[in-house]
Amino acid sequence: MSTQRAKLVVGNWKMHGRLADNAGLLQAVAKGAGELPATVRVGVCVPSPYLAQAHSLLDGTPVAWGVQDVSAFTHGAYTGEVAAQMVTDFGATFAIVGHSERRAYHRESAELVAVKAQRALEAGLTPIVCVGETLEEREAGATEQVVGAQLDEVLAKLSAQEAGRIVVAYEPVWAIGTGKSASSQQAQAVHAFLRARLAAKGAEVADVPLLYGGSVKPDHAFLRARLAAKGAEVADVPLLYGGSVKPDNAKELFCQQDIDGGLIGGASLKDQDFLAICKAAAEATAAG
Ligand code: PGA
């Protein structure tokens, strides 16, 4: 059943919120998160104009905050874009990249998403890389091909060390905002596939050729263990599920072996629902 990896639950507010309403929501989430065990980490990704508000209301609480996208550029004449480095000025730690709404409505390619993940890492942010298939792709039996290609594009651009610092969110497009979540078995199957893909990236490091030259006895076993540990970091990248996670389906999803938490859209706008989902994550770790 569930794993011993800590759970992570992140709210994705999308383009919702107003200054006055946000204050109550952020304060309630901070208070509720303070009552959770340390096995659950909580974050919220707010619209960029509210970063300063999140910073001032969440600083010193157990809740981390971040944005829903970053630019592929560090600075320059890119009207309307927000650089990852700017986000860190407001104490943020997360940046969602490659959400399906950005891939679909802003025609973001897998390559652009990979560059954004790199920019986020360079700035010291944790990118939450979203992958997911459409209904047509699932029905055509192409789910693994689609999500595998989306993940590979990102992994190809990152060193194993960088890859060990990302979070991946599997969000089937057909489950987002539809009230129709993937079943726990469907989600687990894709998560296991993604975990194997990440482990393969780690294995590349563990299998790095170790050459010997010189007259002292080399400690290759030590070096190999160091490299394997780096590989293990990649295999342990948190894998979140997103798509119509609600208080009543969260625990079953979070109890799955390779589901390390959730990326929560609609339900993150209601403090009681969001906190109930965070509690479900705590129960899933306790059950494991
Ligand atoms: P949803 O959105 O929970 O409203 O389905 C999830 C997401 O898009 O991140």
60 pLDDT band (50/70/90 cuts)? very high
Q: What number of other Cβ atoms are within 10 A of residue 229's Cβ?
A: 13
Q: Is 243 in the pocket of ligand 1 (CB under 6 A)?
A: yes
Question: Are the CB atoms for 273 and 246 separated by under 8 Å?
Answer: yes
171 a catalytic residue: yes
Q: Report how far residue 74's alpha carbon sits from residue 18's, in angstroms, rounded to the nearest whole number.
A: 28
Q: Is 176 in the pocket of ligand 1 (CB under 6 A)?
A: yes
Instruction: Report pLDDT digits (tens) over 94-134.
Output: 999 999 999 999 999 999 999 999 999 999 999 999 999 99
Q: Report how far residue 33's alpha carbon sits from residue 10's, in angstroms, rounded to the nearest whole number.
A: 12
CA of 44 to the centre of ligand 1 (A): 13
Is-above-0.85 flag for pTM?
yes
The per-residue pLDDT for 3 is: 46
Encoded amino acid at 120, one letter: A
Q: Is 264 in the pocket of ligand 1 (CB under 6 A)?
A: yes
Q: Report how far residue 2's alpha carbon sits from residue 252's, in angstroms, rounded to the nearest whole number.
A: 10
101 a catalytic residue: no
